[in-house]
Chains A and B, each alone.
Chain A
Amino acid sequence: MRPGNRLAIGMERVLPPLALFSLVVLLWYLATEVIWDRPYRLIPGPGQVARAAAENAGRLASAAGLTAAAALCGFALSLTAGCLVAFGFSQSRILQRSFYPYAVFLQTVPIVAVAPLIVFWFDYGFQSVVVVSFILSLFPIITNAATGLTAVDANLLELFELYNASRWQVLWKLRLPHAVPYLVAGARISSGLAVIGAIVGEISAGYGSERFGLGYIIFQTSGQLKTEELFAAVLASALLGFGIFAAVSRIGEALAGRWQSY
């Protein structure tokens, strides 16, 4: 592929969402700063949000850094623990049957309800935020990796049996490689959830006012009705989530590129 071509294809992918973004911002601007041009607004205009973001750029950036650190720690824990649990599930039906309902429990329990417990066990601070992020992002890793390890084509298993493959060979040469694309898909979902988890964690089990993440800013500014700053923090969270999701997707594509099935 020629570089010019690639650029053209890149533009084709980037232009439509960019155009939509501009349109939404324009409508938002018209609605809030032209048509409903009153001193008090439920929704701040894009100009005001941009100004608030610029004024608080340093604060937002350091908060985003802390949130990102917590999210990445939670995500890394999920990847590690999720793979181990999935591996256990794939090796023993009984293990899977016994533990699966509790894995579902992790997925369905309202995190706000257990947040006091987490604070009780881990105290306020970074570690509790990481725990919330971990709990929220664990499930997709477990289910996807377990599916990848177990949902192997029956004929392939027969093929390995036919050549007297050991359990170890079936695992190493068939199940694990088969699970890679599943794990990558799970990791993509999980990475986004880890960011959400970090922000929810900061709101429910976060830090004091000396060190704070985006969740704290969102919590604080909403209490004080500083909607411009609140919007700026929400946008920063969205950007952070998007950035981490995009990075994980990229790494996943690079890892699992040749796994595409036929």
Chain B
Amino acid sequence: MVFPGGLEALQGIHLELQAGEFVSLVGPSGCGKSTVLRMMAGLLQPTTGDVTVAGLHPRRARREKQDVSFVFQEATLLAWRSVRDNVRLPLELRGIPARQASESVQTLLALVGLTEFEDAYPRQLSGGMRMRASIARALVTRPDLLLMDEPFGSLDEITRQRLNEDLLALWMRDRWTALFVTHNVYEAVFLGGRVLVMSARPGRLVGDFDVPFQYPRPGTLRADPDFARLAGKVSDCLREHA
């Protein structure tokens, strides 16, 4: 991937996700992790090579199956809409009337623990709750592929850990395919069945680690010596190519 102006962001990336897999992608800041996500969402076109989702060009996949969702670094909510109406937005954009959408919206709000706050506006929520709303919005369309771009990067550690656990619970329930971008090695190992490591710019894939821990993964896994060892290996790989 080369941007206009000649900035080479990515170089020879080859990556495949199996349906229902949870893959973490770690790399130093500015290595092109977000670019990978945006290409998979069809928001960016690769300069060379191609990207397919379920065998289709991402944009076609989006148009025909509408099965890709994206969670941004920021919650990216509409400030003038209540939490409920924010979560409903993707369905509304597809022309589904509010009444028909209501059941999916309520289910998702309950799953992310925001039922009590459905009438609140984004400014009335904490950062963690806003991110929950953002995740609910991404899942309300029952996507097959969920792309997440460092969604918990700006949250405090405790909130981040809780959201990691809750995210896995949501994933266990519906088993969408997940690509989770982060620069936090522990988060990557805790969430992913596989952890991919990217080098500094131009970004290349330099590591592919299988994470052997069974799902569901309890929070206590973070204190497991095997967990620490694997995280250490990923960190070493990351440092070597930074």
Contact = CB atoms under 8 A, between A and B. Distances in A.
Contact of B76 (A156, A164, A180): A156
A162 B79 contact: no
Contacts of B79: 259-262
Contacts of A158: 38, 41, 43, 70, 72
B142 interface: no
B80 A259 contact: yes
A262 B93 contact: no
Interface in A133-165: 153, 155-156, 158-165
Interface string B135-148: 00000010000000
A158 B92 CA distance: 16
A262 B122 contact: yes
B45 to A, nearest CB: 13
Contacts of B66: 163-164
B93 A160 contact: yes
Interface string A225-247: 00000000000000000000000
A169 to B, nearest CB: 6
B208 interface: no
A60 to B, nearest CB: 42
A164 B67 CA distance: 11
Give the interface SS of chain A, mostly helix, strand, loop or mixed.
helix
B74 interface: yes
A211 interface: no
Nearest to A163: B93
A41 interface: no
Interface size class on chain B is 20 to 34
A215 to B, nearest CB: 40
A148 to B, nearest CB: 12
A259 to B, nearest CB: 5
A261 B123 contact: yes
Size bin of chain A's contact surface: 20 to 34
B43 A173 contact: no
B43 A260 contact: no
Contacts of A156: 76, 78
Interface in B4-63: 38, 41, 43, 62-63
Nearest to B91: A163
A173 B41 CA distance: 22
Nearest to B124: A262
Given A169-B93, A260-B123, A262-B122, A162 B69 contact: yes
A93 interface: no
B90 interface: yes
B185 interface: no
Contacts of A163: 66, 89-90, 93-94, 141
B171 interface: no
Contacts of A174: 78
Interface in A78-115: none
A162 B62 contact: yes
Interface string B80-124: 100000000110111000000000000000000000000001110
Given A155-B73, A162-B70, 20 more contacts: A156-B76, A158-B70, A161-B43, A163-B89, A163-B93, A164-B63, A164-B66, A164-B93, A173-B89, A177-B80, A180-B80, A258-B121, A259-B79, A259-B80, A260-B79, A261-B79, A261-B123, A262-B79, A262-B121, A262-B130
Would you list the 3 A-B pairs with minimal beta carbon distance, nearest first? A262-B123, A163-B93, A261-B79
Interface of B: 38, 41, 43, 62-63, 66, 68-70, 72-74, 76-80, 89-90, 92-94, 121-123, 125, 130, 141
Interface of A: 153, 155-156, 158-165, 169, 173-174, 177, 180, 258-262
24 contacts: A153-B76, A155-B73, A155-B76, A156-B78, A158-B38, A158-B41, A158-B70, A159-B70, A163-B66, A163-B93, A163-B94, A164-B66, A169-B93, A173-B89, A173-B92, A180-B80, A258-B80, A258-B121, A260-B121, A261-B79, A261-B123, A262-B77, A262-B79, A262-B122
